Amino acid sequence: MNITTPKPAADDVFVPRPQVRKRYGVSDMTIHRWLRDERMGFPRPIKIRGRCYFRESELVAFERSRVAERGGAS
């Protein structure tokens, strides 16, 4: 499986890590594990002033890839 990272749009939104945890209903440890597992394809965070942010466009692409892997099941 080859996952490409979309190019960020100029108006891309940066989502802080706590909101990402809430978005997926997971803990910090789960996000840490997802980041370590390359097969997962979870977007890499951007560090700004020591805090982690994720590009919303990359989170949406990740979500779409997960749905596609399951054959489009909802």
Q: How confident is the model at residue 6 (pLDDT cuts 50, 70, 90)?
A: low
Q: How confident is the model at residue 9 (pLDDT cuts 50, 70, 90)?
A: low
pLDDT of residue 67: 87
Predicted confidence (pLDDT) per residue in 27-43, tens digit:
999 999 999 999 999 99
Q: Give residue limits of the domains in the chain.
A: 14-66
Give pTM, 2 decimals. 0.77
- CA–CA distance, 6 with 25 (Å, rounded to integer): 24
Structure tokens at 2: 């080859």
Predicted confidence (pLDDT) per residue in 52-73, tens digit:
999 999 999 999 998 887 776 5
Instruction: Write the CA distances from 44 to 6, 14, 71, integer angstroms.
Output: 12, 12, 25
Secondary structure element (H or E) that encloses residue 52, with its range: strand 51-55
- CA–CA distance, 38 with 15 (Å, rounded to integer): 21
